[in-house]
Amino acid sequence: MSNKLKLYQIYYHYSYPDFVTTDYSDNTISLYINPKNGIFKNKKKIYTSIGPWGIATADLNNDNFIDIVNTNFVSFTISVFLNDGHGNFNKWDTYYIGGTTMSVALADLNNDTFIDIIAENNDADFICIFLNKQNGIFETCQQVITDWNVNAVTTGDFNGDGKIDLALCTVQNTMNVLLNLC
**104-113 per-position pLDDT tens digit:** 999 999 999 9
Q: Does the structure show a pLDDT above 60 at 1?
A: no
In a domain, 2, yes or no: no
Residue 3 belongs to some domain of the structure: no
Quick one: how far is CA 106 from the chain centroid? Answer: 6
pLDDT band at 14 (very low <50, low <70, confident <90, very high): low
pLDDT, tens only, 129-157: 999 999 889 999 999 998 788 999 999 99
Is 173 a domain residue? yes
**Rounded Cα–Cα distance for residues 78 and 89 (Å):** 15
Q: How many domains does the chain have?
A: 1
CA atoms of 30 and 28, how far apart (whole Å)? 6
Can you tell me the distance from the alpha carbon of 72 to that of 47, in angstroms, rounded to the nearest whole number? 11
Host domain of residue 71: 8-178
Q: pTM to 2 decimals?
A: 0.89
Any domain includes 169: yes
Residue 1 lies in a domain: no
Residue 31 lies in a domain: yes
Helices (H), the chain: none
Residue 18 has pLDDT above 90, yes or no: no
CB 109, CB 164: distance < 8 Å = yes
| 8-12, 27-31, 79-83: least confidently modelled range | 8-12
Q: Is 162 left (phi over 0), alpha (psi -120 to 50) or beta?
A: left
> 130: domain CATH number?
2.130.10.130
State yes or no: pLDDT of 2 exceeds 80. Answer: no
Mean pLDDT value of segment 64-75: 92
Query: 150 CB contacts (<8 Å, ≥6 apart)?
Result: 103, 120, 121, 122, 127, 168, 169, 170, 171
71 SS3 class: strand
Q: Is residue 56 part of a domain?
A: yes
